[in-house]
């Protein structure tokens, strides 16, 4: 059954962070494949990062365009070019970038008003609360895009709308999250990544919550079979329609679209595949801790030593901006020691390409939702190493609900961007043990692999014709059409 087409014009406004930009560009492709016109609103630096992928979509006759807006960086005290959270010289400047983002409201509304065909719907990240006001003034619906899945946001909702944290004595004490289908235990510190912290963060969260209540519905990069109980409970808690339309990464079919998703890789994709081709099936651990995680030099050395001690083949992508790890690797002869079974790459990883390779059998992840979902889609069990935000919630989902993960043992969250200043949180023995627990041939490990493989198959079915996510995309489009039709009827009746 072919997907029904639409002639709607969707405006997509992704937050300037790779974990948000990447899935939103996939959503743009999915909508355009239905015949919709899609306009992505972002800034010049971000537009340039994704230009090759978008250009290929346009060459394939998909109606996607990018409108670039200038952030007033100097006005908020940011250096030129700092248009994305991973480009900030200091995490303390995140408030400055949010301030610059808030100043885009007028210019965004002006360009949207001038579009032909006219805009019919805005899908924007929760970090753009002002898009609800713009949509109201334009008389079109706004849908909120949530980066994490329904499980994490239901947990966040339960914490934000109860006094449970006030009844927990210590930041390190575990307690049971109320009102969830499964028994989930977490500490106060791990549950406090949203809506708490400094005053600016609290105010921003409150604005996002208020704007979310006025939005028409919620779009989630997930699939119903993965978190069925949580989709239903999340929709009830928010009093909104929730459309799970993922895993959106699976819309990428060509080699280049998969290899360059997000950014061009730090290693030639074919060299990477050649290295993996030489390994046995399911034997390699892939290590990547996300675009916003900055490990200290000491922590990176512990990871390096733990991987070496595990005797498991690995491919490790690391963010070594200062070249300090490079110096240590050279001085200690580390690369020479592990050359027969390890590959270290500095920079961006062609993650989906690696995870889908037959040689990869495990994934050490920071538990960002994109990485979590990409690991699930590839049918790969994971070692969970959360750092901040909702990552500890995603860890509980991977380990306790899906039962496809092994905890590396981190307990205390670190503030975004500050973790490189912290002491070592994971020792080489922790890395070694977690990798061995994940990759051994014991029955528990085999069962994890079986569950992960089954989930991967379910993810692919969800995105196929007749699958739940494909159906949800249809329902979302139909709901927007009905919403617009009802508004037109109402206007006619008033006139």
Angle in degrees, 0-180, between the axes of helices 369-377 and 18-33, rounded to the nearest 10: 50
Residue 80: burial class (beta carbons within 10 Å; 0-12, 13-18, 19+) = exposed
245: Cβ contacts below 8 Å, ≥ 6 apart: 27, 30, 219, 220, 221, 469, 472, 473, 476
User: Residue 268: what pLDDT?
Assistant: 56
* Separation in Å, CA 177 to CA 39, 217, 352, 495: 39, 25, 33, 51
Measured CA to CA, the distance from residue 311 to residue 262 in angstroms comes to 31
Beta bridge partners of residue 406, listed in sequence order: 383
When computed from its CA atoms, the radius of gyration of the chain, rounded to whole angstroms, is 22
Query: Residue 146: what are its φ and ψ, rounded to 5°?
Result: -100, 125
* Separation in Å, CA 278 to CA 49, 180, 258, 313: 31, 45, 21, 11
C-alpha 341: how far from chain center: 30
Q: Are strands 174-176 and 185-187 parallel, antiparallel or unpaired?
A: antiparallel
Measured CA to CA, the distance from residue 484 to residue 486 in angstroms comes to 5
C-alpha 340: how far from chain center: 33
User: Residue 235: what pLDDT?
Assistant: 96
CA pseudo-torsion sign 426, 307, 300, 49: negative
Which ranges of 339-467 would DSSP assign to H, the alpha helix?
351-355, 369-377, 391-396, 428-439, 443-463
- Reduced to 3 states (helix: H, G, I; strand: E, B; else coil), residue 325 is helix
User: Residue 423: what pLDDT?
Assistant: 59
Measured CA to CA, the distance from residue 250 to residue 107 in angstroms comes to 33
What strands lie across the sheet with 64-68, from one edge to the other?
64-68, 37-42, 9-13, 121-125, 142-146, 217-220, 241-244
Query: Residue 315: what are its φ and ψ, rounded to 5°?
Result: -125, 120
Query: Residue 437: what are its φ and ψ, rounded to 5°?
Result: -65, -35
Cis ω before 247 (30° cut-off from 0): yes
- 229-232 LR contacts (CB < 8 Å, sep 24+): 229/181, 229/182, 230/149, 230/150, 230/151, 230/154, 230/180, 230/181, 231/150
Measured CA to CA, the distance from residue 264 to residue 294 in angstroms comes to 20
Angle in degrees, 0-180, between the axes of helices 297-310 and 324-332, rounded to the nearest 10: 40
Measured CA to CA, the distance from residue 87 to residue 84 in angstroms comes to 5
Question: DSSP secondary-structure letter at 240?
Answer: S
Q: What is the dihedral of CA 392, 398, 400, 402, to 10 degrees?
A: 160
Query: Residue 349: what are its φ and ψ, rounded to 5°?
Result: -105, 135
Beta-strand ranges (E) seen in 200-354 are 217-220, 241-244, 284-288, 314-318, 342-346
Name the helix (H) or strand (E) containing 360.
strand 360-365
User: Residue 132: what pLDDT?
Assistant: 97
Spans of the chain below 70 pLDDT: 1-5, 193-197, 259, 261-269, 321-322, 415-424, 488-495
pTM (two decimals): 0.93
DSSP string, 462-487: HHSTT-HHHHHHHHHHHHHHHHHHHH
- Candidates 10, 16, 6; CA nearest to 49 is 16
* Separation in Å, CA 490 to CA 134, 190, 430, 480, 486: 20, 47, 62, 15, 6
DSSP string, 97-109: HHHHHHTTHHHHH
- Reduced to 3 states (helix: H, G, I; strand: E, B; else coil), residue 337 is helix
């Amino acid at each position: 059954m072919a997907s029904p087409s639409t002639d709607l014009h969707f405006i997509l406004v992704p937050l300037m962070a790779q974990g948000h930009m990447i899935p939103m560009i996939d959503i743009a492709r999915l909508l355009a494949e239905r015949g919709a016109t899609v306009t992505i609103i972002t800034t010049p630096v971000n537009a340039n990062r994704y230009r090759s992928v978008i250009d290929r979509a346009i060459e394939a006759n998909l109606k996607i365009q990018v409108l670039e807006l200038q952030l007033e960086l100097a006005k908020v005290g940011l250096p030129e070019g700092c248009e994305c959270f991973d480009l900030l010289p200091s995490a303390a400047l995140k408030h400055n970038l949010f301030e610059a983002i808030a100043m885009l409201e007028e210019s965004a509304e002006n360009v949207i008003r001038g579009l032909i065909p006219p805009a019919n719907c805005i899908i924007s990240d929760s970090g753009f609360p002002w898009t609800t006001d713009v949509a109201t003034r334009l008389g079109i619906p706004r849908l909120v895009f949530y980066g994490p899945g329904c499980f994490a946001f239901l947990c966040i909702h339960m914490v934000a709308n109860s006094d449970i944290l006030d009844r927990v004595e210590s930041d390190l004490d575990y307690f049971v999250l109320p009102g969830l289908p499964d028994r989930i235990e977490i500490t106060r510190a791990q549950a406090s990544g949203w809506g708490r912290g400094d005053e600016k963060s609290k105010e921003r969260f409150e604005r996002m919550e208020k704007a979310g209540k006025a939005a028409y519905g919620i779009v989630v990069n997930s699939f119903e079979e993965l978190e069925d109980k949580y989709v239903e409970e999340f929709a009830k808690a928010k009093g909104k329609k929730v459309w799970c339309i993922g895993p959106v990464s699976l819309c990428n079919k060509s080699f280049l679209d998969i290899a360059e998703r997000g950014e061009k890789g730090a290693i030639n994709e074919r060299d990477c595949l050649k290295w993996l081709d030489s390994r046995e099936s399911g034997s390699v651990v892939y290590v990547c801790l996300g675009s916003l995680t900055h490990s200290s030099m000491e922590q990176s050395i512990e990871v390096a030593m733990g991987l070496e001690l595990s005797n498991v083949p690995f491919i490790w992508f690391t963010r070594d901006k200062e070249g300090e790890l490079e110096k240590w690797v050279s001085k200690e002869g580390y690369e020479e020691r592990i050359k027969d079974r390890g590959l270290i790459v500095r920079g961006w990883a062609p993650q989906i390409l690696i995870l889908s390779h037959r040689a990869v059998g495990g994934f050490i992840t920071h538990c960002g939702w994109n990485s979590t979902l990409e690991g699930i889609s590839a049918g790969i069990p994971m070692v969970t190493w959360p750092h901040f935000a909702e990552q500890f919630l995603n860890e509980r989902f991977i380990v306790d609900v899906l039962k496809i993960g092994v905890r590396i043992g981190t307990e205390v969250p670190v503030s975004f961007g500050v973790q490189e200043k912290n002491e070592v949180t994971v020792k080489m023995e922790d890395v070694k043990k977690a990798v061995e627990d994940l990759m051994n041939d014991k029955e528990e490990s085999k069962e994890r692999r079986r569950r992960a493989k089954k989930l991967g198959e379910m993810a692919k079915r969800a995105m196929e014709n007749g699958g739940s996510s494909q159906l949800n995309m249809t329902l979302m489009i139909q709901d927007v059409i009905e919403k617009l039709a009802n508004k037109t009827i109402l206007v006619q009746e008033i006139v």
